[in-house]
Amino acid sequence: MAKPTFKANPIQVQVPATAANLGPGFDSFGLAFGMHDRYVAQILDDAGLDIDVTGEGADDVPRTDKNLLVKAMNKGFDYLGGKPKGLAVRALNVIPHGRGLGSSASAIVGGLVLARALVLTGTDKMSDEVLLNLATEMEGHPDNVAAALYGGATVAWKEDVNGKNLAHSIQVPVDLRIRAMAFIPSSALATSKARKMLPESIPFADAQRNSTNTAVLMHALTIRPDLLFTATEDFLHQSYREEAMPASFALMTKLRAAGVAAFISGAGPTVMALHTGDQEEVAQLSRAGGAKFEGKSLEIASRGASLL
């Protein structure tokens, strides 16, 4: 492949926060929210890497090629034929890190979208399907990256196609009445730690209930939000992670006891609630987390990663 021709002008992209699983849809369902990280990148004539990060995690994010956004850009450049000599990157992070709101998916998808946009024929050579697979290779599973890329609700999966384990995704139109409330704790939880707490097998009855609820969830998100409470009940993974996030699990249990469609967002520890409440009900709901959680009202983001 010939070395790519790079665009000289800076490119900016915004990528939404996401929640995975939505209760029973483990490693498959994703939902994008109106909280965005913004990234700007420009090709430099001179060799080097110039990185500036502000906002969430700014003190912890590396300013080297180990930076996840830069790693994703380099992966994209490699796919498109080669890296540029120099690169300037600016990141304004709004999505909290390590809270189950897809901060890593945002960086990965954002980096790949930037790389594609900075190459003259990038959109011709890297389709969204290719981008999804490159992102999945980095993230490990496609649920968050699919929602970050496409927006709205997504169902993503991997399957063997001619010996290759390829990621696929479909976008699910979300009922316009549905909004979200995120209860964000101050403490973080590594996804790798949360995954280690999952059992190798679960009871058959739990698997049956979970598969039923996942099917109902598709219906609830699209045309029957009155079914969200039933549809978001999980029997597969949440209870096994309670020890790692007792306060989050207690809040989720409290909300569900009150009839709220609450679940752990991704691997946690953020608790997410889907609702169709009015302004007064939203205000009441936002206070449910008490002092340990920041209640943040969020719209559903119908668009995924978008160039600005």
What are 195-238's pLDDT values in tens digits? 788 778 888 998 899 999 999 999 999 999 999 999 999 998 88
Confidence of residue 280 (pLDDT cuts 50, 70, 90): very high
Closest CA to 151 of 303, 269, 47: 303
CA pair distance 227, 23, nearest whole angstrom: 13
What is the pTM (predicted TM-score) of this model?
Answer: 0.94
Q: Provide mean pLDDT across the span 242-253.
A: 92
> Exposed, middle or buried: residue 223 (CB in 10 Å: 0-12, 13-18, 19+)?
exposed
How far is C-alpha 165 from the chain's CA centre? 21
The mean pLDDT of 119-124, rounded to a whole number, is 94
Instruction: Report the mean per-residue pLDDT for the chain.
Output: 94
| pLDDT value, residue 186 | 87
Is 117 within 8 Å of 13 (Cβ atoms)?
yes
Residue 215: the pLDDT is: 95
Half-sphere exposure at residue 148, Cβ-oriented, CA atoms within 13 angstroms: 34
pLDDT of residue 197: 80
Domains observed in the chain: 11-172 (3.30.230.10), 179-298 (3.30.70.890)
- State the Rg of the chain over Cα: 20
Sorting pLDDT into bands at 50, 70 and 90, what band is 120?
very high
238: left (phi over 0), alpha (psi -120 to 50) or beta: alpha
**End-to-end Cα separation, the chain, in angstroms:** 29
Residue 263 has a CB neighbour count (10 Å cut-off) of 26
Tokens of 169: 């995704």
Work out the average pLDDT over 42-57. Answer: 94
- Are the C-beta atoms of residues 112 and 12 closer than 8 Å to each other? no
Our CA angle for 273, 285, 56, nearest 5°, is 65
Q: Strand 179-185 vs strand 164-172: parallel, antiparallel, or unpaired? A: unpaired
Q: Are 297 and 282 in contact (CB under 8 A)?
A: yes
Residue range 153-179: average pLDDT? Answer: 94
Read off the pLDDT of residues 61-112 as tens digits, 9 standing for 90 and up. Answer: 999 999 999 999 999 999 999 999 999 999 999 999 999 999 999 999 999 9
Query: Looking at residue 194, what is its pLDDT?
Result: 67
Query: What residue has token string 């699910």?
Result: 172
Average pLDDT over residues 175-184: 97
